[in-house]
A and B are shown apart, each in its own frame.
Chain A
Amino acid sequence: MTVGADWYLGLAAVVFALGLLGVLVRRQTLVMIMCVELMLNAANLTFATFARSLTDIGGQVLVFFVLVVASAEAVVGLGIAITIFRHKADVNADSLDRMKG
Chain B
Amino acid sequence: MTALATVLLWATATHPTLVDAGTFSVSAALVIAGAIGVIVARNPVHSALMLIMTLFGVAVLFLLLQDPFLAVVQVIVYAGAIVVMFLFVIMFLGVDREENLGAEKLRGQRPTSVILAAASLAGLLILGFVGHWTLGAPHVAGPDTGAPNVNLLGQSLFTTYLFPFEATAALLIIAVVGAVALARRPGGEQKVVDAAPGPLAPELDPASRFVVTPPAPGGNEDAEPSGPGNQNGGDGS
Contact = CB atoms under 8 A, between A and B. Distances in A.
Dominant SS among interface residues on chain B: helix
Contact of A81 (B93, B129, B138): B93
B164 A65 contact: yes
Given A10-B128, A45-B58, A1 B183 contact: no
Interface residues of A, number: 72
A58 B66 CA distance: 14
Interface in A57-72: 57-58, 60-61, 63-65, 67-72
Given A61-B161, A64-B70, A11 B31 contact: yes
A31 B44 contact: yes
Given A30-B89, A75-B176, A76-B175, A17 B120 contact: yes
Interface string B143-165: 11000010011001100110010
A15 B138 contact: no
B95 interface: yes
Contacts of B112: 24
Interface of A: 1-3, 6-11, 13-22, 24-28, 30-31, 33-35, 37-38, 41, 44-45, 48-52, 54-58, 60-61, 63-65, 67-76, 78-83, 85-86, 88-89, 91-92, 94
Interface of B: 12, 16-17, 20-21, 24, 28, 31-32, 35-36, 38-39, 44, 47-48, 51, 54-55, 58, 61-62, 64-67, 69-70, 73-74, 77-78, 81-82, 85-86, 89-90, 92-93, 95, 99, 105, 109-110, 112-114, 116-118, 120-121, 124-125, 128-129, 135, 138-144, 149, 152-153, 156-157, 160-161, 164, 168, 171-172, 174-176, 178-180, 182-183, 185, 205-207, 210, 237
